[in-house]
Amino acid sequence: MILAILVSLTLTSNVNNTNLNLSNLSSDDNTHAFVLADSLQQREEAAGRERQRSQPIDGGGSFTGNGEAKKLYQDQTNNCVAWVKKQTGINRPVGAGGRSGINSQEAKVGSAGVERGRLSHLVLIVAINGDDIVINESNYIKNYITQRVLHRNDFLGFII
């Protein structure tokens, strides 16, 4: 015996939503609504990233909060834009945190990346491994050049 059930579905789409969650069940008219939403794991991961971003960094002036910083060496530049421009040879204005200098959405080793955050932050791209991008930077931790691994989505764009 084959049992067929007809269900009226209402799908609501959201850019960041990926899983179906059952809601608004009504047994009176046999109508069910499914709304696209983030999974519990995705919501917990997003909350964890937000908590990490809200933690203060050891004296850095350009706070973004992504990735764990490894101190490479001491440096008194304490200005992400000045340091990256010196490393890359960029000689044109790029704005605070590099935001106005973005001219590419493609990361390239040796180029500058503009990291998104409460304040944008200019970094030097030193390696790319899939979606993981290794960066060096000034002023993430005051008086140090540091290195972090960021995800491609952590960038607003790149300066080539």
Residues facing 8 on adjacent strands: 31
Between CA 112 and CA 103 the distance in angstroms is 10
Q: Which long-range contacts (CB under 8 A, 24 or more apart) does 48-51 make?
A: none
Which range marks the domain in which residue 132 is found?
58-159
Specify the CATH number for the domain of residue 69: 3.90.1720
Residue-averaged pLDDT of the chain: 77
Between CA 76 and CA 138 the distance in angstroms is 9
Q: Is residue 53 part of a domain?
A: no
Q: Is residue 130 part of a domain?
A: yes
Q: Write down the pTM of the prediction.
A: 0.61
What's the pLDDT tens digit per position in 65-108? 677 889 999 998 899 999 999 999 999 999 999 999 999 999 99
What is the H or E stretch that residue 53 is in? Answer: helix 40-53
Question: Quick one: what percent of the chain has pLDDT higher than 90?
Answer: 48
Q: Is residue 138 part of a domain?
A: yes
pLDDT of amino acid 40:
79
DSSP 8: B
What's the pLDDT tens digit per position in 9-45? 343 334 444 444 444 444 455 655 555 667 778 777 7
What's the pLDDT tens digit per position in 36-52? 667 778 777 777 666 65
pLDDT of amino acid 38:
72
Q: Is residue 74 part of a domain?
A: yes
Q: Is residue 75 part of a domain?
A: yes
Q: Is residue 145 part of a domain?
A: yes
